[in-house]
Amino acid sequence: MERKGILIDPDTGDLQKQIRRDADGLVKQGFAVADNSYQCQAILLLSTKGEFKEYPTLGASMRDMVNDHNLSWWNNEITVQLEADGFNVRSIDLTDKTRPVIDAV
């Protein structure tokens, strides 16, 4: 599933600018728009429950995973969060907790 949306700069967190002008020099587009599926996944997985006030149960809080040994709980939590947002989770590898590998489309 492709999700089109405004892209965020991964280094700064700012909106990515991509100024396009028409023949008269007027701004036609100001922000970079493309498939933002991975960006949505990253935001969802790093967010803490309660950060999105309209959806208080949204967020997997993966920053908390580093000191936890219950990887089956994290595997389930990641799957539940991604599937609730419409992603199909193919596989999750949490062997290296500092670099988890998640395949979701």
For 92, the token pair is 């999750």
* Rounded Cα distance, 72 and 60, in Å: 13
* 51-84 core/surface letters (b: 16 or more CB in 10 A; e: else): eeeeeeebbbbbeebeeeeeeeebbebbbebbee
Determine the pLDDT at residue 73: 93
Does position 2 have pLDDT exceeding 80, yes or no? no
Residue 29 banded pLDDT, cuts 50, 70, 90: confident
The span from the CA of 42 to the CA of 36, in Å, is 10
pTM of the model: 0.78
Question: Minimum mean pLDDT among 2-6, 7-11, 86-90: which range?
Answer: 2-6
User: Which amino acid, residue 74?
Assistant: W
Q: Is 61 left (phi over 0), alpha (psi -120 to 50) or beta?
A: left
What is the per-residue pLDDT across 30-79, written as a single tens digit (0 to 9) for each? 899 999 999 999 999 999 999 999 999 999 999 888 888 889 999 999 99
Q: How confident is the model at residue 1 (pLDDT cuts 50, 70, 90)?
A: low
